[in-house]
Structure 1
């Protein structure tokens, strides 16, 4: 079989080599470029969809309230029991809390070691979820607060928002609550104190 070319000086063998070279240079590379373009388009589409969902929904920060807290100390240990209410104000986004820890401090000094809390998945606008924490410390640390003092109760953890099957990246969550510690009449075995939450509520920060 003969090959017809535009160049009279080009032999059929040279033409065959050129065709094979052209197929090698442009065939696989073209498919690779097409695959890269398709992958980039898919990533851009997902990013655009996520941005649209975020801009349309734009979840508001959760709201926390210190419901009640008590302090009990004896010769061996001091314990602070606290109850927090968490509210998700969003109509379409669920709040997912991970790695929650509670701690107490006075005048910048830690009163208790961090106490872990279980994870919490809070659906949209389903009322308040109650978080309970039991914080313990040596009695000497609790005695720093004296008879009446401001005590800071803090929650730390991570927050994600969930809309249908889409879940955002984790964000650092910090909740600061201030309460006034008032010691009650001591008993022969323990000293009991009440922590009165401040009317302004708790401050929530996302980073």
Structure 2
């Protein structure tokens, strides 16, 4: 990627991360640079920083950013700084589903959030083991515990204080908990 960028950028440009295409860049240089970055396998997305210049309009820049983001299907966030022109550009970016931040310190972490989200959604999960549950008996036990107040709106249920047996025995689950046994309410809800 750096070799490709070096071919299109002036010698003064910095082809490392962060890439600096220099303030005299026109739209074609910007388009080529962003295309190379988003096409690269080693880059998962881009943060585009820009201020207004006499060489281009933000609206043109927005269309290039939006088109390349859609083409490469990688997350892009922007930090376009510069008053009313920025506000209009940010509105156009929304149409592409691209977020604009007024501050690079906010833009960079948002791109990390996209990466974190992608990592979670692409993770492979094993299906949980299915257990047969005697639902009627488990519901009966839980109902008996609710009436005298053993199950409340608190975040935990102390099974050892119940005068009944653990509802887990009707779920055919191995008993690994030692006294006192605690069962989160979500488990109670799953058994009902």
TM-score range, shorter chain: under 0.3
Considering fraction of residues, name the structure with more helix.
2
Considering fraction of residues, name the structure with more strand.
1
Q: TM-score, normalised by structure 1?
A: 0.23
